[in-house]
Amino acid sequence: LRKSILLCFLLQKRFYSLKVAPKVSSSGTAAKVKLSPESQNPEITKLPNGLVIASLENFSPASRIGVFIKAGSRYETSSNLGTAHLLRLASNLTTKGVSSFRITRGIEAVGGSLSVHATREKMAYSVECLRDYVDTVMEYLLNVTTAPEFRPWEVADLQPQLKVDKAIALQNPQVGVLENLHAAAYKNALANPLYCPDYRVGKITPEQLHHFVQNNFTSSGMALVGIGIKHSTLKQVAEQFLNIRSGGGVPGAKAVYRGGEIRKQTGDSLVHAAVVAEGAVLGSKEANAFSVLQYVLGAGPLVKRGSNVTSKLTQGAAKATSQPFDVSAFNVNYSDSGLFGVYIISQAPSAGEVIKAALNQVKAVAQGGVTDADVTTAKNQLKANYLMSVETSKGLLNEIGSESLFSGTHTSPSAAAQKIDSVSTADVVNAAKKFVSGKKSMAASGDLGNTPFLDEL
Amino acid sequence: AGGGGLLEKIRKWYYNLAGFNKLGLMRDDTLHEDDDVKEALKRLPEHLYNERVFRIKRALDLSLKHQILPKDQWVKYEEDRPYLEPYLKEVIRERQEREAWNKK
């Protein structure tokens, strides 16, 4: 049966050269092939078992297919922390259909790549390859997501990799601060770290991995997304192979915001600190307001290696200190909560002044100190950033996948731009007010001698 | 059925003739440890590995003293399980797959 399906794929591919070649004729009524993704919106189907299939046929020579799953560190419990991290690293282990060796060599042989990208709420397994080899890599992708075996010796050999992965990630102080921030801000679910805690390295068992996969990799929490592939192909594949685990699985716990602070005293001369309050839920109208507020305050330099003078936060902090610093607004949305605040990097002696100056700037916006021109500039910056992020096929796949997974629909770029435009200055001020009045959480690392505590802010 | 029964009888006779069951060993304990077997041993679950080590230690002790176990403790043909065989088969299959790929 599988061989006949593969044969069907091959037959379908034979006719591409006839379909894609646009008819060039001098008459004005010639049919034009629309090639831009703008006019070619993704097709989305939702199967009865809950699986969402989305595909965008943009006739590119390389295809990119992803399986997005509602699984991540938030679905761990205190007894199996770190399972999602190991799962991330375990994508090339032996499966029921193919061995680990064959996955690696097979994907190499066709020049493709398999990668896993995981956030606290979702995991995305994606493969990319030339169009002709899609069936081969599709087979590996399906094996990895639906039928992993987690052989005890392979899992045991993989555990040291957890340490290496974590060490590489923590070289960047921001990662550590953000992990602490989530641990401080939430009581459960979203508080779970993205990287395996040290005491769990070497203790994660294949049974825990299997359990995690059984509970979370269910059809109703998955989306199969493809770019550069026909919708009917994806649909066939999904109906045939992704039907194994139906049901909703174990629902994750609702994230409860608590607001706390975690300080990590190191000897670093640079202090990294984040001060946040609860923000907006993914996809809500508030989320757009918070995003615009983020750009009003300043969300990172727009000119590479520039001095970011236009951002409000930078202007405020520049008055407080002459030492080098970097301040930007921090905004993240999850399916049932969000965080909004400021992220500060400053020299240790001036940390207190910079943090206070940044928070004063947000207070100023909350008190109405923002003009319509500021808001329009911010909207343009936000729109530009969003549109540029979906320019690459990787960004586009991620965007289509995340949206299909969480809402089962797709917002075209023009609709997204409209939503951003519909945010009014009052919305932005309200968002700032919500931050100022909300219970704060804080995470800081570095030489914290001059870094104030939350109750001193 | 008659032919199958005869084959079984011959196998049982040969098993008892070989004599390692008198030292309390199972067939898979006596395999020569080449690379494949070594790799398969690494993959044994802990309880099976510990039992193997115990049996081998006991057999070494007996052969040192030039003794064998009392007859009621000999390993019976029916009880002898090829515990290493699935792991060994998998190791050999993987090695052959690697060699096939490398030849291409």
Judged against a pLDDT cut of 70, whether residue A40 lies above it is answered with no
Is B101 an interface residue toward A (CB < 8 Å)?
Answer: yes
Range scoring the smallest mean pLDDT among A131-140, A142-151, A190-199, A310-319: A310-319
Using the CB atoms, write b or e for A257-271: b if 16+ within 10 Å. Answer: bebbbbbbeeeeebb
Is A13 inside any structural domain? no
Residue range A74-78: average pLDDT? 88
pLDDT per position as a tens digit, B43-52: 999 999 999 9
Among A210, A241, A272, residue at a domain's last position: A241
Q: Measured between alpha carbons, how far is A439 from A435 in angstroms, rounded to an integer?
A: 8
Contacts of A195 (CB under 8 A, 6+ apart): A82, A85, A162, A165, A166, A169, A170, A175, A179
The residue with greater pLDDT, A356 or A2, is A356
Cα–Cα distance, A405 to A237 (Å, whole number): 18
DSSP strand pairing (A62-69 vs A113-118): unpaired
- Whether the pLDDT of residue A400 is over 80: the answer is yes
Q: Which residue has the tokens 């917002």?
A: A411
Terminal alpha carbon distance of chain A: 66
Domain span at residue A63 reads 43-241
Number of folded domains that form chain A: 2
Residues A330, A227 within the same domain: no
Query: Which amino acid, one-letter code, is at A397?
Result: L
A104's tokens: 């690696």
Q: Which tokens go with A385?
A: 């950033």
- What does the alpha-carbon distance between residue A88 and residue B63 come to, in Å, rounded to a whole number? 51
Structure confidence at residue B38 (pLDDT): 93
Cβ pair A442, A184 in contact under 8 A: yes
Residue B40 has pLDDT above 90, yes or no: yes
- Residue A95 has what DSSP assignment? B
Task: Identify the band that residue A232 occupies on the pLDDT scale cut at 50, 70 and 90.
Answer: confident
Residues of B in contact with A105 (CB under 8 A): 101
Give the type of residue at B18: A
User: What's chain B's length in residues?
Assistant: 104
Confidence category of residue A301, pLDDT binned at 50, 70, 90: confident
CB contacts of A101 in chain B (<8 Å) are 94, 97-98, 101
Mutate to test the interface with A, among B44, B48, B94 (most CBs of A within 10 A): B94
Based on the fold, state whether residues A221 and A325 are members of the same structural domain: no
* Residue A7 pLDDT: 55
Looking at the complex, report in whole angstroms how far the Cα of residue B44 sits from the nearest Cα belonging to chain A: 9
A365 shares its domain with A340 = yes
- Domain finish residue from A179, A212, A241: A241
Last residue of a domain, one of A193, A216, A241: A241
pTM above 0.90, yes or no: no
pLDDT for residue A309: 73
CB pairs under 8 A between A and B: 14
- Same domain, yes or no: A265 and A385: yes
Rounded to whole angstroms, the Cα distance separating A115 from A137 reads 12
A234, A328: one domain: no
> Chain B residues with CB inside 8 Å of A153's CB?
42-43
CB B83 within 8 A of CB B49: no
Whether residue A199 is found in the same domain as residue A327: no
Q: How far is CA A267 from CA A178, A181, A379, A452, in A?
A: 19, 20, 39, 17
Same domain, A269 and A204: no
With a cut of 80, say whether residue A13 has pLDDT above it. Answer: no
Q: How far is CA A126 from the centre of its chain?
A: 13
Confidence of residue A6 (pLDDT cuts 50, 70, 90): low
Is A412 a domain residue? Answer: yes
On chain B, the residues whose CB falls within 8 A of the CB of A151 are: 43
Clarify whether residues A338 and A369 are in a common domain.
Answer: yes
The model's confidence at residue A38, banded by pLDDT at 50, 70 and 90, is very low
Task: Say if residue A438 is in the same domain as residue A368.
Answer: yes
Q: Considering the domain boundaries, does residue A85 fall inside one?
A: yes
Superfamily for the B3-103 domain: Cytochrome b-c1 complex subunit 7 (1.10.1090.10)
Task: For residue B94, list chain A residues with Cβ-Cβ distance below 8 A.
Answer: 99, 101
* Same domain, yes or no: A303 and A158: no
Could you report the per-residue pLDDT of A313-362, keeping only the tens digit for each? 888 888 888 888 888 888 999 888 899 999 999 998 888 889 998 898 88
Which pLDDT does position A246 carry in this prediction? 66
pLDDT of A36 strictly over 70: no
In a domain, A31, yes or no: no
Q: What stretches of A174-269 adopt beta strand conformation (E)?
A: 222-227, 261-265
Region A15-37: mean pLDDT is: 50
Note the pLDDT of residue A27: 46
Q: Assess whether pLDDT exceeds 90 at residue B60.
A: yes
CB–CB contact A105 B101 (8 Å): yes
Average pLDDT of span B22-44: 92
Residue A383 maps to a domain: yes
Contacts with A205 (C-beta within 8 Å, 6 or more apart), sequence order:
A155
As a whole-number percent, the residues of chain B with pLDDT over 70 amount to: 97
Task: State the Cα–Cα distance between residues A73 and A67, nearest whole angstrom.
Answer: 17
Residue A21, domain member (yes or no): no
B97 touches chain A (CB under 8 A): yes
Q: Which residues of A touch B (CB under 8 A)?
A: 99, 101-102, 105, 151-153
Pick A101's closest partner by Cβ from B42, B45, B98.
B98
Amino acid identity of residue A78, one-letter, is: S
B89 touches A: beta carbon within 8 Å: no
Q: Which residue has the higher pLDDT, A122 or A246?
A: A122
Identify the pLDDT of residue A326.
Answer: 86
Q: Quote the DSSP letter at residue A302.
A: S
In this prediction, residues A270-278 reach a mean pLDDT of: 92
Q: Do A152 and B45 touch (CB under 8 A)?
A: yes
Predicted pLDDT at A29: 47
Q: What's the CATH number where A338 sits?
A: 3.30.830.10
β partners of residue A186: A257
**Chain A residues with CB-CB distance to B87 below 8 A:** none
- pLDDT score at A2: 56
- Looking at the structure, tell me whether residues A157 and A283 fall in a common domain: no
Return d(Cα A169, Cα A95) in angstroms, integer: 28
Cα A320 from Cα A333, distance rounded (Å): 30
Q: Cβ–Cβ of A153/B94 closer than 8 Å?
A: no
Where exactly are the structural domains of chain B?
A: 3-103
In the predicted model, what is the mean pLDDT of residues B54-77? 92
The predicted structure's pLDDT at residue B65: 95
Per the prediction, chain A carries an average pLDDT of 84
Q: State yes or no: pLDDT of B91 exceeds 90.
A: yes
Q: How confident is the model at residue B35 (pLDDT cuts 50, 70, 90)?
A: very high
In a domain, residue A18? The reply is: no
Average pLDDT over residues A15-29: 49
Say how many C-beta atoms besides its own lie within 10 A of residue B3's C-beta.
7
Task: Spell out a b/e string for B75-101, using b for 16 or more CB atoms within 10 Å of the CB, else e.
Answer: beeeebeebbeebbebbeebeeeeeee
Q: Which residues, in sequence order, are bridge partners of residue A194?
A: none
Per-residue pLDDT at A410 exceeds 50 = yes
Mean pLDDT for the stretch of residues A5-9? 54
CB contact under 8 A, B42 and A153: yes
Question: Given this model, what pLDDT does residue A25 score?
Answer: 44
Mean pLDDT of B11-31: 91
Report whether pLDDT(A76) > 50: yes
Cα-to-chain-centroid distance, residue A194: 12
Asked, for residue A11, whether it belongs to a domain, the answer is no
- Does the pLDDT at position A34 exceed 90? no
Q: Give residue A272's identity as a one-letter amino acid code.
A: H
Residue range A75-88: mean pLDDT, rounded: 89
Helices A134-146 + A2-14 axis angle, to 10: 140
**pLDDT cut 70: percent of chain A above it:** 89
Helix (H), strand (E) at residue A118: strand A113-118
| Amino acid of residue B39 | E
Confidence (pLDDT) at A220: 83
Percent of chain A scored above 90 by pLDDT?
16
Contact (CB, 8 A) for A329 and A341: yes
Q: Tell me: do A229 and A265 sit in the same domain.
A: no
Q: How do residues A368-397 score in pLDDT, each as one tens digit?
A: 888 888 889 889 988 988 888 888 888 888
